[in-house]
């Protein structure tokens, strides 16, 4: 059960994708395609998610207990698998949000720094 090996850059991206998915389903249960649309929508179409990497991420999050899934009827009477946030997922979302904010703050202050004159 080892996670697939990826290089450093992908790790960051993967963590970001997890956070985005958690945020998206925290607003209400969604099927996979809905998650994709919701992320695009709330990011103001700025973020484009690789369609293929979405499902492994969903499965991984479900495997870790952060989201749960259920088969249901979609708006146009199609069967679809709906994902919702679990209690553990909500906790994790809060945690990751804090972490992300702190990281963003640090990054911002780092990038604001100007060269000192000696």
Partner 1 sequence: MNFRSLAIRLIAQPLSWARAMSRRRRLEKEMEAELATHLEYLAADLVRTGYAPDEAARRARIALGSSIVHKEEMRAALGLRGWDEMRSDLRYGARVLRKSLGFTAVAATSLALAIGANTTIFSVARQVLYERLAVPHAVNLRLLAWSAMDRHRAVHHIWGDDDPLPGGRTTSTSFSYPAYQQLRAANRSMGDLFAFKVTAMNATIRTEPQRIQTEMVSGNYYAELGVRPQLGRAIQPGDEGAPGQGPVAILSEGLWERSFARSPAVLGEIIKISDITFTIIGVNPHGFTGAKNVQQSPDVFVPLSMQPLIRPMSVRAAQAGKPYASALEDPNFWWVNVMGRTWPGTRDATAQAALAGQLNAIVRATMPVRPGDDLPHLELRDGSRGLFTQEKMFAKPMAVLLTLVGFVLLLACANIANLMLARGAQRQREMSVRLALGAGRTRILRQMLVESLLLAGMGGTGGLFMGYLGRNIIPRMTENAWERSDFHVHFDWNVFAFTAGVTLLTGLLFGMAPALAAARSDVTHGLKESAKTTTRRRKGAGGKALVAFQIALSTLLVIGAGLFLRTLAGLSSVEVGFRTDHLLLVPIDPPQGRYPAGKDVQLHERLERAFAALPGVESVAVAMESYVSDGESLMGFYPQGEKYDPQKHQEEDFNVVGNRFYETLGIPIVAGRSFGTEDTRISPKVAIVNQKLAATRFPNQNPVGKMFSLNGHDADGHGGTLTDEFIRIVGVCGDTRYSNLRQEPPAQFFLPYVQQSELGGVTFEIRTRLKPETILPALRKEVRQIDPDLPVVNVRTQEQQIAADVQQERIFVTLTSGFGLLALALASVGIYGIMAYSVSQRTNEIGIRLALGAKPSQVRAMILRESSWLAGGGVLAGLASAMVLSRAIQSLLFGIRSYDPLTLSSGVALLLLVALAASWIPARRAAGVQPMEALRHE
Query: What residue ranges bind partner 1 (CB under 8 A)?
Result: 1-4, 31-33, 51-53, 55-57, 59-60, 62-65, 71, 74, 78-81, 88, 91-92, 95
Q: How many CB atoms lie within 10 A of CB 92?
A: 20
User: Shortest distance, CB of residue 104 to partner 1, whole angstroms?
Assistant: 19
Name the DSSP letter for residue 3.
P
**Cα gap 83→62, rounded to integer Å:** 9
The nearer residue to partner 1, 75 or 116, going by C-beta atoms, is 75
The nearer residue to partner 1, 71 or 110, going by C-beta atoms, is 71
Helix (H) or strand (E) holding 29: none
- Contact by Cβ (8 Å): 65, 86: yes
User: Shortest distance, CB of residue 44 to partner 1, whole angstroms?
Assistant: 18
User: Shortest distance, CB of residue 64 to partner 1, whole angstroms?
Assistant: 5
């Amino acid at each position: 059960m080892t996670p697939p090996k990826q290089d450093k850059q992908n790790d960051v991206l993967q963590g970001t994708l997890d956070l985005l998915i958690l945020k998206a389903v925290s607003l209400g249960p969604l099927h996979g395609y809905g998650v994709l649309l919701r992320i695009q929508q709330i990011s103001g179409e700025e973020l484009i998610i690789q369609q293929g990497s979405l499902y492994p991420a969903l499965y991984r999050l479900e495997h870790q207990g952060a989201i749960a899934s259920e088969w249901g009827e979609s708006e146009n009477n199609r069967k679809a698998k709906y994902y919702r946030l679990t209690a553990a997922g909500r906790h994790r979302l809060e945690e990751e949000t804090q972490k992300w904010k702190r990281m963003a703050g640090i990054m911002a202050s780092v990038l604001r720094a100007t060269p000192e004159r000696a």
